């Protein structure tokens, strides 16, 4: 095959491979990271980086299509670099892979620079680059096969037409195999790209709404964080978990895109008056803001499926009072946009614990992954029986008549959070220097509060730690203790006791059916 033809096909292979990689990244982003995809991250970084004059020029030249123009420009630039990657890979093995790896790293840097960066978002550029490299490797091997075959048997020229009925020559077979791969790759990338765009389209509109949404100020602001609640200890969990680090658990394969303009919350079932509440009406209600630590029933002892946030919302009890629950009702089955349900005791939604119909998380509208526009937050209960995200309905009912999503799947009907504690520092298995070793972590007993936390070394006597004041009984508390340790191996355990004097359960229990128990135990190597 002539060198120029081979180079052209190699460039085409580069474009198809990188397109396939980008599509993989965007498609997976639509599923696991709707707020941020590799392309939106790079686009956002470009917007931030261009000088204002260029931005003004773009807006005046393209008007409201400026974003589209940016995407088209990005697409062309990426296609050019992708063609170059294909060409380089053809000339020299791995040179093209190196160019694609640089793409991946640029994508990663762009993602890291965005406010919405999350663990999920960070792996996507690398995933996209890996996919592009695999596809390019595959296309290159077919191109090399074709090239080798056409060297062995020169392709028939126009002057000597190929024998039409005869079997294809190896060169023709190689050509066909390469073109099939190239065309197949292009079609798959195009179809996947269309799907990703459709999935993202809905989420993008909702994201846009969210970014422009100004939440009302709280009529009842959160009580001030007590002085000394946040200990100054390296490696301890922050007292308030930033949204981007907040654990996420749900059954939603794609994050539901709920448009606040058409959102309504229905109160149904055993009530005097059924109610439909729209988003604007909800925002006009006197909101309260509270710190609440929510936790997942699947959180293992020492696990990280727990986080503390400042939630803004309207108390569920106010809405339920308007509806008027009928006597005999003892449960509220809350339902989300995607059909998931939780069964919460009516009592905890009507007592003074400030269970919230929440719209805000740490001063922002709820992130899409955390239930935008509206979710429930109930102090003291595991998420699976209380914390419904993308909330659409509250059905007042009875435990005898209805069940939440997880109950028939082997989880308990009721899910009060069990008192527990965790050692954050030092990390288990991480060697530390002999001398005074600082231990620290968090402890929680939502809606009762923590009374004391103790630590023991090698099953010796329990030692009281310094317990920081909690923000409220509904949040976790930080603790710390310095222990002098000589070189050797140690087993360290922590236990908490709630404000009623009830100790954390020592017997180990698995997470199912109603939450793990046992003391968090770490092993520490103390080196000279």
Is residue 411 near ligand MTE by the rule CB under 6 A?
A: no
373 prior amide bond cis, ω within 30: yes
Between CA 74 and CA 83, with CA 78 as vertex, the angle to 5 degrees is 150
Q: How many angstroms separate the most distant Cα atoms in the chain? A: 98
- The residue within the footprint of Mo ion, chosen from 7, 106, 249, 252 (CB under 5 A), is 249
> How many binding residues for ligand MTE (CB under 6 A)?
18
- The residue within the footprint of ligand MTE, chosen from 336, 397, 421, 493 (CB under 6 A), is 336
- The residue within the footprint of ligand MTE, chosen from 50, 84, 249, 457 (CB under 6 A), is 249
Whether the Cβ atoms of residue 11 and residue 3 lie closer than 8 Å to each other? no
Give the nearest distance from C-beta 430 to Mo ion in angstroms. Answer: 28
Is residue 251 near ligand MTE by the rule CB under 6 A?
A: yes
Is residue 307 near Mo ion by the rule CB under 5 A?
A: no
Give the nearest distance from C-beta 251 to Mo ion in angstroms. Answer: 10
DSSP summary character for residue 463: E
Give the nearest distance from C-beta 209 to Mo ion in angstroms. Answer: 27
- What does the alpha-carbon distance between residue 292 and residue 296 come to, in Å, rounded to a whole number? 13
Nearest C-alpha neighbor of 132 from the set 175, 83, 91 = 83
* Interface positions, 258-317, toward ligand MTE (CB under 6 A): 296
Tokens of 60: 């005046």
Number of separate helices (H) and strands (E) present in the chain: 10, 19
- The residue within the footprint of ligand MTE, chosen from 390, 411, 439, 444 (CB under 6 A), is 390
Is residue 384 near Mo ion by the rule CB under 5 A?
A: yes
- What does the alpha-carbon distance between residue 243 and residue 364 come to, in Å, rounded to a whole number? 9
Is residue 340 near ligand MTE by the rule CB under 6 A?
A: yes
Residue partners of 142: CB distance under 8 A and separation at least 6: 174, 177, 178, 181
**95-112 vs 3-32: helix axis angle to the nearest 10?**
30
* Residue number, 36 or 342, with CB nearest to Mo ion: 342
Is residue 387 near ligand MTE by the rule CB under 6 A?
A: yes
Match 């109160």 to its residue by tokens: 267
> Segment near ligand MTE (CB under 6 A), from 71-79, 129-137, 243-251, 273-281?
243-251
Helical ranges in 271-399 per DSSP H: 279-284, 316-323, 346-350
Tokens of 128: 């996209």
Strand (E) or helix (H) holding 191: helix 170-212
Is residue 103 near Mo ion by the rule CB under 5 A?
A: no
Measured in degrees and rounded to the nearest 5, phi and psi for residue 521 equal -125, 125
* Interface positions, 155-174, toward Mo ion (CB under 5 A): none
Give 175's Cβ-side CA count (13 Å radius): 14
- What does the alpha-carbon distance between residue 383 and residue 305 come to, in Å, rounded to a whole number? 10
Is residue 370 near ligand MTE by the rule CB under 6 A?
A: yes
* Residue number, 58 or 206, with CB nearest to ligand MTE: 206
> Segment near Mo ion (CB under 5 A), from 283-291, 347-355, 375-383, 411-419?
375-383
**Residue 514 interface partner, choices ligand MTE, Mo ion, none, CB cut-off 5-8 Å depending on type:** none
- The residue within the footprint of Mo ion, chosen from 14, 25, 38, 383 (CB under 5 A), is 383
* Residue number, 291 or 370, with CB nearest to ligand MTE: 370
- The residue within the footprint of Mo ion, chosen from 16, 296, 437, 468 (CB under 5 A), is 296
Residue partners of 62: CB distance under 8 A and separation at least 6: 68, 69
- What does the alpha-carbon distance between residue 245 and residue 248 come to, in Å, rounded to a whole number? 9
Classify strands 420-425 and 435-444 as parallel, antiparallel or unpaired.
antiparallel
Binding mask 43-82 for Mo ion (x = CB under 5 A): ----------------------------------------
Instruction: Give bridge partners of residue 488 from the DSSP assignment.
Output: 526
Q: Which residue is nearest to ligand MTE (CB)?
A: 383
* Residue number, 287 or 381, with CB nearest to ligand MTE: 381
Q: How far is CA 435 from CA 432, 485, 528, in A?
A: 9, 5, 9
Give the nearest distance from C-beta 257 to Mo ion in angstroms. Answer: 22
Binding mask 63-102 for ligand MTE (x = CB under 6 A): ----------------------------------------
Whether the Cβ atoms of residue 316 and residue 357 lie closer than 8 Å to each other? yes
- The residue within the footprint of ligand MTE, chosen from 250, 354, 364, 474 (CB under 6 A), is 250
* Residue number, 384 or 439, with CB nearest to ligand MTE: 384
Give the nearest distance from C-beta 387 to Mo ion in angstroms. Answer: 8
> How many binding residues for Mo ion (CB under 5 A)?
4
Is residue 388 near ligand MTE by the rule CB under 6 A?
A: yes
* Residue number, 150 or 293, with CB nearest to ligand MTE: 293
Q: Which residue is nearest to Mo ion (CB)?
A: 296
Between CA 520 and CA 377, with CA 231 as vertex, the angle to 5 degrees is 70
Measured in degrees and rounded to the nearest 5, phi and psi for residue 173 equal -65, -40
Residues in the site for Mo ion, rule: CB under 5 A? 249, 296, 383-384
Q: Which residue ranges make up the site for ligand MTE (CB under 6 A)?
A: 246-252, 296, 336, 338, 340, 370, 383-384, 387-390
């Amino acid at each position: 095959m002539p060198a120029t033809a081979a180079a052209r096909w190699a460039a085409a292979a580069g474009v198809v491979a990188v397109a396939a990689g980008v599509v993989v990244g965007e498609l997976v982003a639509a599923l696991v990271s709707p707020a941020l995809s590799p392309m939106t991250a790079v686009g956002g970084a470009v917007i931030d980086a261009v000088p204002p004059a260029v931005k003004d020029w773009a807006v005046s030249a393209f008007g409201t299509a400026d974003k589209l123009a940016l995407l088209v420009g990005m697409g062309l630039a990426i296609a050019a670099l992708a063609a170059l990657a294909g060409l380089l890979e053809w000339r020299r093995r791995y040179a093209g892979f190196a160019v694609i790896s640089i793409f991946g790293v640029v994508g990663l840097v762009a993602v890291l620079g965005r406010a919405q960066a999350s663990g999920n978002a960070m792996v996507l550029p690398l995933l996209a680059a890996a996919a592009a490299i695999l596809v390019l490797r595959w296309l290159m091997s077919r191109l090399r096969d074709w090239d080798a075959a056409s060297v062995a048997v020169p392709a028939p020229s126009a002057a000597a037409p190929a024998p039409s009925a005869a079997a294809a020559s190896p060169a023709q077979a190689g050509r066909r195999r390469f073109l099939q791969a190239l065309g197949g790759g292009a079609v798959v990338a195009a179809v996947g790209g269309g799907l990703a765009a459709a999935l993202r389209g809905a989420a993008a509109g909702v994201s846009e709404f969210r970014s422009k949404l100004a939440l009302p100020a709280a009529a009842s602001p959160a009580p001030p964080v007590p002085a000394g609640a946040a200990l100054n200890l390296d490696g301890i969990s922050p007292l308030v978990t930033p949204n981007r680090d907040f654990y996420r658990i749900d059954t939603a394969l794609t994050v539901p895109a709920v448009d606040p303009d058409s959102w309504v919350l229905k109160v149904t079932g055993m009530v005097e008056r059924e109610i439909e509440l729209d988003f604007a009406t909800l925002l006009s209600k006197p909101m309260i803001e509270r710190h609440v630590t929510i936790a997942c029933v699947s959180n293992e002892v020492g696990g990280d499926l727990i986080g503390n946030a400042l939630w803004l919302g309207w108390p569920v009890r106010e809405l339920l009072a308007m509806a008027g629950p009928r006597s005999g009702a003892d449960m509220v089955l809350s339902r989300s946009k995607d059909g998931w349900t939780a069964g919460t005791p009516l009592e905890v939604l009507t007592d003074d614990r400030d269970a919230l119909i929440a719209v805000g998380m740490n001063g922002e509208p709820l992130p899409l992954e955390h239930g935008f526009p509206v979710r429930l937050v109930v102090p003291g209960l595991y998420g699976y029986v209380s914390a419904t995200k993308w909330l659409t309905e509250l059905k007042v009912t009875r435990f005898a008549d209805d069940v939440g999503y997880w109950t028939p799947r082997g989880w308990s009907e009721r899910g009060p959070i069990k008192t527990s504690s965790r050692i954050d520092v030092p990390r288990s298995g991480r060697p530390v220097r002999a001398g005074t070793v600082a231990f620290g972590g968090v402890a929680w007993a939502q809606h009762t509060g923590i009374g004391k936390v103790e630590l023991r070394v090698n099953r010796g006597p329990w030692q009281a730690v310094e317990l920081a004041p909690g923000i409220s009984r509904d949040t976790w508390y930080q603790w710390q203790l310095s222990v002098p340790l000589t070189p050797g191996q140690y087993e360290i355990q922590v236990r908490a006791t709630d404000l009623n004097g009830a100790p954390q359960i020592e017997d180990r229990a698995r997470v199912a059916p109603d939450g793990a128990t046992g003391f968090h135990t770490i092993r520490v190597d103390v080196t000279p």
